[in-house]
Amino acid sequence: MLSLLYLAAYLIAGVGIAHCLVPRVRVVARVWIGLTLGILLMMWLPALLAFFVDFSVLGHMLALIPLCAITAGAYFLRDKAPARAFAKGDKQLLIAIAAVALPLTVLGGYLQYTHCLREVNGALHVGQSTYGDLPLHLGIITSLRDAAFPPDYSILPGEKLTYPFLMDSFSTSFMLFGMPLNWAVVIPGTLMMALVFSGYMILASRMASGWRALILSTLFVFINGGLGFLYSIDMLGVSLGDGSANSLQSGTWWERIETILNGWYLTPANHAEQSYYNLRWSNIIVDMFVPQRTFLGGWCILLPCIYLLYDVAEKAHKRARGFGREPSAVIGVIPHTEEERLRVREENGRFAGYNVRQLILLSVMAGGLPLLHTHSFLALGLLSAGWMIYDLCHRGKLLPWLLYGGLACLLAAPQLFGWTFQHTTGNTRFVYFQFNWVNNSGGWGMRDGYLWFWIKNIGVPVILLMLSLLEKDRKRRFIASGAFVIFAISEFIIFQPNEYDNNKLFYVWWALCAVLAADYAVDIFDRLKGLRARYVMAGMLAVCCFATGTLSIAREVKSDYQMFSKSDVELAEWVEENTDKDDTFICWTQHINPVSALAGRDIVCGPGLWLYYHGYNLSERENDIRAFYQDPANNRAVLDKYSVDYILLGGYEYNDARASAGALTENFDCVYEAPDGTRIFSVGDMADD
C-alpha cells in the first residue's frame, strides 16, 4: 500500500506540472503526459538522491522534497492562458481508448501476471518470452535495494552497471516499500502497458485523419506480425517438414496450429528457424513489451516526447501558414480586449513560433531517456533531426530546435559519457556497418529480396505505406521525413553486438508509419463506396494483417514454464535472511540463478547470454570458476581474487563446471543444504587442512 501511495504522489505531481506548463494541449493528452512525467520523476529523483544516501527508503522520502520544488516551480512558471477544456473530441478519443487500448491493457496485464514469477505450488513460473531475459532484470531489481550509486553489476562485481537500469530501479522502489518481487514487476509493467497503448492512440489521434485510421494504426502496431501465417496454411494437407526442420509446415491441418501454440518459438512472427523462414518481425506485445522491460519503459516516455514535438511543430507550421492567428496577436500591437491580451500573452510565450514551455518540458523528458532506454533516446534524436531538416526547408526556424536539442543533449550527456559510452568506445562489436538489418545477417548476403523481406515480415501494411507516400499530402510527408531517418540509419548501421536489437529502432519507425498506412487504407475503403465487395475486401485485409500477430499472442498466452522450483525459492529466502547484502557467491554462469535473481546477491560471473551483448569478455572469470570447482584446494586464490564469501554447489556446478563435491566438503563447511541436494559452503568457515 505504501508503494502505491508513493507512486500516486508522483503521478499527481506529474499531472499538475503538465497542467501548468501545457494547458493548451487537449485534456486527455495532458493527463497522459502528466502521468508519464510522474513515472519519469519517480525513476530519476530517488536515483539522484541515491548518490548521496543510497537507494533506500530514506533516499526515496528525501526525493519528495525536490518533487515538491519542481511542482512549485512549474506553478510559478505556468502558462497563464486558460486550460483547454474537455471537448467532444476528447470524449470520442476516450471511447476509442476504451474499445481498443483497454482490452490490450487487460491482455498485457494478464501476460505480466503469468510471465513474471507466477506462483504455482511454491514454485515460480514464467512464459516463453520471459524465460530468457527476466532473471537479468530480477537480479538488477533485487540487488539495487539499499545499494550505493553508481551501482555495479551484481552478476559482474567490479564493473559499473552500464545497462539502462531505471526501469528496474523503478520496481526496486516498490520493493523498498514492502511490495513482493513479483508484484513489483507486474504492477509497474501493467501500468506502463496501459500508458503505452492509450498513449499511442492519443499520439495517433493527433496525426491520423479520423477515428477509423486511429484504430487501424493501433492494430497495425500492436497486433503486428506480417505474412508468416501463410507458411502454416500452405499445402495444409501435406506435411512438408518435421519437428527439427521446416517445423512451421510439419504436420497437417490442426497439427500445424498445435505446433505454433506449443512449440518453442515456432510462431510465424519470429520463428526459431531464422535461416530457413527469415521471419523476424516479432509481435511487439509478447516479444518486446512483456520480456524487454527497458523497451517498455522507453516507449512509455518516448511516445509523449513524440507527441509534444509533433504538436508544437504542427502548431508552428499552422501559424506560419496563417491559421489560428489574429492580427491583434502580433507582438507589439496594443491589445484592447481580454481575448486579445490572451493572444498576445500566448505569442510572447513562444520562441520563434514554438511554445517555449512545451519545448522545455519535451527537452527534460527526452534528456531523461538514456538510462531508461538508450535506443528510444537514439530513435527520438533521429526523428527530431528529420523533422528539423523538414522545418528548416519550409520555415527556416533553427533556434527552437537548438533550444530543444541543446537542453536534451545537456541532460543526456552525463548518462551517455558516464555509462553508455564506457563499454562501447573502442569495442568493434558496437556500431558497425551492415546493410538491410537481419536479412543480411553478418554481412554474408541477403536471404530474401530487399522489398520482399519487408513485405513478408510486416505484411500488407508496408505496401499501403509505400503507396501512401506517392500522394501529395503535407502532413504525411512531414511525419515520414522524421520516421524514415530512423529507418535509413537502422538499415545501414548496427548499434550493438546483437544485430537483431536494431528492431528497437525499426519499431519506432513503424509506429509513425502505421498512421500513414492506416490513413491510406481508409482512403481506399472510402473510394470504393458503392462497391458491395469492399467489406469482404476489408475482412480479407484484416486476416492478412492480423493473423500472424494473433497466433503469436495466442501462443504466448498459452505458454507456461517453471523458472524457479520450490527448492530454489527456499534457498533464496535462506540467502536473504542469513547472508549480508554485500556478500559474493561463486557459482556457475547459468542464467536461472536464485542467488542473484531472487536474493539479489553478487555472483562472480553471470551468463554470456546477457553480458556478451553488453560488451564484456567473460573467458577469464569462467576459466577461474571452472578451475576452482574442479580443484578447490589448489585454487583458493580464486576466492580471494573475487572476494568470495559463499560457494554454491548445485546441478549446474556438477554438470557444467565438473565440481568436485568431495573436495569442497573437505575444505569448507556446509551451512545450507536444500531438499534437492543443492548446498552452500561458507568461505569464512574453512575446514582445517
Question: Which sequence spans correspond to the domains of the chain?
Answer: 2-127+162-207+292-421, 217-290+424-558, 565-686
Kindly indicate the confidence band of residue 334, based on its pLDDT and cuts at 50, 70 and 90: very low
* Residue 133: pLDDT over 70: yes
Alpha helix stretches (DSSP H) within 395-440: 399-418
Q: Say what angle helices 166-176 and 2-21 make with each other, to 10 degrees.
A: 130
* Residue 331: pLDDT over 80: no
- Work out the average pLDDT over 324-331: 36
pLDDT top residue among 102 and 339: 102
Q: Are 680 and 653 in contact (CB under 8 A)?
A: no
Q: Is 634 exposed, middle or buried (0-12, 13-18, 19+ CB in 10 A)?
A: exposed
> What torsion do the CA atoms of 609, 614, 620, 626 make, to the nearest 10 degrees?
-20
C-alpha cell at 123: 514454485
Give CA–CA dist 415/372, Å, rounded.
10
pLDDT of residue 409: 97
The CA-atom distances, in angstroms, between 144 and each of 151, 152, 295, 606, 668 are 7, 9, 20, 16, 29
* Residue 338: pLDDT over 60: no
Give CA–CA dist 568/97, Å, rounded.
42
pLDDT top residue among 393 and 684: 393
Per-residue pLDDT tens over the stretch 46-61:
999 999 999 999 999 9
Sign of the Cα torsion 245, 251, 255, 257 reads positive
pLDDT of residue 322: 58
Give CA–CA dist 568/113, Å, rounded.
20
Q: 1: helix, coil or strand?
A: coil
* Residue 429: pLDDT over 90: no
pLDDT of residue 90: 93
- C-alpha closest to that of 560 among 105, 107, 103, 111: 111
Per-residue pLDDT tens over the stretch 19-33:
999 999 999 999 999
Which residues does residue 153 pair with via DSSP β-bridges, in sequence order? 156
- Work out the average pLDDT over 197-201: 98
Task: Provide, rounded to the nearest whole percent, the portion of the chain with pLDDT above 90.
Answer: 80
Poorest-confidence range of 310-314, 359-363, 626-630?
Answer: 310-314
- Look at the domain 565-686 and name its fold: Rossmann fold (3.40.50)
- C-alpha closest to that of 232 among 205, 194, 212, 261: 261
* Residue 320: pLDDT over 80: no
**Using omega within 30 degrees of 0 as the cis cutoff, is the peptide bond preceding 268 cis?**
no
Per-residue pLDDT tens over the stretch 615-659:
888 999 999 999 999 999 999 999 999 999 999 999 999 999 999
* Residue 70: pLDDT over 90: yes
pLDDT of residue 15: 98
* Residue 225: pLDDT over 50: yes
Per-residue pLDDT tens over the stretch 555-580:
999 999 999 999 999 999 999 999 99
> Across the chain, what does the average pLDDT equal?
92
pLDDT of residue 427: 66
pLDDT of residue 482: 97
Give CA–CA dist 461/216, Å, rounded.
10
pLDDT top residue among 242 and 161: 161
* Residues 6+ positions from 172 with CB-CB distance below 8 Å: 55, 140, 141, 142, 144, 145, 184
* Residues 6+ positions from 425 with CB-CB distance below 8 Å: none
pLDDT of residue 353: 63
- Work out the average pLDDT over 299-306: 98
* Residue 339: pLDDT over 60: no
Poorest-confidence range of 44-48, 272-276, 493-497?
Answer: 272-276
Per-residue pLDDT tens over the stretch 583-617:
999 999 999 999 999 999 999 999 998 998 888 88
Give CA–CA dist 185/188, Å, rounded.
6
pLDDT of residue 247: 87
pLDDT of residue 347: 47
